[in-house]
Structure 1
Amino acid sequence: MLASSAGGWSGNGGEPIRMANNVWFINQEQIPYCILAADSYPMPAAELSRLVRSAFDKWISFFTDYGIDGLGRSFFPAQPFVPHDSKLRMTLKFFEVPCASADTPFAKEKLRFQFGLTHPLIEAYRTFNPEEPLGLAMKKSADGRGLMNHGYIWIDRFTADPLRIEHVLLHEIGHVLGMPHNSVYVMDEDVATHLSEGSQAALGMIQTLSWPYRLQTNARIGLSLEAYNRTNIPTQGRSCQENPLLTALIRDLDLPARPCYDVGLRTTQMSSEAIQIQLEFTSEDRVTIYQGSFQPLPVHELTPKGPKFFTILPGEKKWRAQVFDPIPVSEAWQGNIVGYGRPLAAQLTMAKGIILHLHVPTLNKWITLRSRS
């Protein structure tokens, strides 16, 4: 995938599109990688080696925290996909070996990092992107049945800042490990926008509190108010006192009139069938808590959203799908918020963070609260 201000696309070695986001390495004991850097690259080799190792370690820690242990599981038990006892397993062990040169064929390494060094194959992919890419994860060749994909991770000379280089590294290694765009904060298809912003607080992080991989119980997520009318025209930019939707929401929730409220969401229980939340409104020394209960929207399938592996096995004509996250979740939920006032219809979605839509009965309109850093 290309990391650029316009997003990216697969450098997939000629695979069918369904296989483009496949995990690169399956059922391998460990994967050797090597690192090459241009003489003019604004960072010493030892520091680049440390950043690559750090990026791998962060991803392994992330998978461990979410119980993504690398063991393959069937996509849906009722469907004719890979059986439960499949022995497919993600390879999560990587170690560094020396590189020869950028022009030599792959030797011991299965994955080659090139910092500021180009290659005809890399240049061919870059020409298809109208934006200037910052990084690229590209398979040299694709073998969906052999479960081994040699390839490159290329990082441009776009900065000397270690945090920004590591952030692009995390994004590209995420593709090697099967993480698609927008699955978590660092995999944002518009990753370059985070690099150009002034704050560095979230650089080098796979997920943030405002954009987690999955909702976590007891973690408070701050929400900002973003009001919409029926034509989806935003009414942002006004203070809480001036926004008629916010004023109506406060009234419908039976909250005291205040200049503004700090709003937070806290997940108290979560499963694939239901989510229970607390919605907290804080102003001055008063905290008002509302309870929310949500069920998956029926139009959204319960599917794991992390690393996957699609293939057509020899002698078969059907696609088979393997997943490595054991917990299926919905990306959209519907329910109600109840508390001191009347119940409010609500929807909860995961889309580049947390989005809570609340219906304002007195105006028959919806107000949108988005997670904020």
Structure 2
Amino acid sequence: MKFSHDNNSRIYTLEELNTKKAAFASASTTYMSVLMVVGLIGNFLVLYVYGKRFRSSATNSFILALSTFDFINCAIGIPTEIVDDQLPLMFNWEFGCKVLRFTSFFSSGGSCFTLVIIALDRFQRVYLGKAQIETGWAKTVIVLETAVAALAVSPILELAGIDTQSTDVPYINGTDCAIMDEYKKTKWPIIYFTYLSGMIAISLVILVIAYTMIGLTVKDRLGRKLAKGTTVVRTADDLGREQQRRIKTGQTTKTFFMVTCLFIISYIPCTMIQLLRALTGFEPHTARTEMLVNVGLRSYFLANAFNPFIYGYCNSKFREISVKLLVNIQVNLMEDTRTKARVYSLTDAEASRYPNMSVTGSYYQ
């Protein structure tokens, strides 16, 4: 249906207004499309290599849990967010909106809780000098924290929905995926997001304290080792085992520390924009600013796509297996058995049996 703008004779449609607004999200759509492809490939490799090629352990279970949350966001969260970007005034799929918001909140919450558990496990291992959590317990804890994450963010399934948005054109309203109309002016969204912010703040405090104590412990041990200047005589086997254990512990701690840092960094732009909006009512007034805001609001997808690069950087075996797997996939894709010619040279006697076939014949399998 077409409507006339009061200020001029131009005829507008909701489709035209949607296309105009979606143009400001082109940078965000491109950014998320790249992250989606990179994240799907990278997390598939993590799930395959750590799940099929590496032995089961607490560390590998934590990595598999993180990669599962990342894969869910790349496979469901990002594509739905892209649709929302391209339909800023015409998103009217309420079920899809609820799936989008719940998936993003659930995978982010699951990752956050997993990182807290990992930090506590590293704290116990490095700072307290106790044994790492057993594999069975690690898997049990992962299942429990996944259930807690799903329960914690579940109210968004009720709050999220179709939000009616006004446009600059009289009599034309659009629809977007946000807090649904019936809850938009109630206290429930504020209560919900305040409680989520509190959980995130507590998690960040735990992460910062745990890794600060771990870092100070490692620094103190290195200092004491250098100051002592002497070593206790032990067998070569004992020294080798201890050195291997320390290297493995250090690599694991480094991996999870980098993943935690990336998780926190990826949320900074999104959080800052949301706080700015809440405190000052900030809204972009230029095309460039709106593009930057759209990209910044999706900054949290960075961790979902780039965590596999951290695993590859810190684990040479994972890197080696992944490269071989990708090469094999490429070779298999390039090989088309239907176009592989196999040539046979026939003898005169054989050729006489096939008069319509040349002496040198070929067929394609």
TM-score, length basis structure 1: 0.20
The structure with the largest helix share of the pair is 2
The structure with the largest strand share of the pair is 1
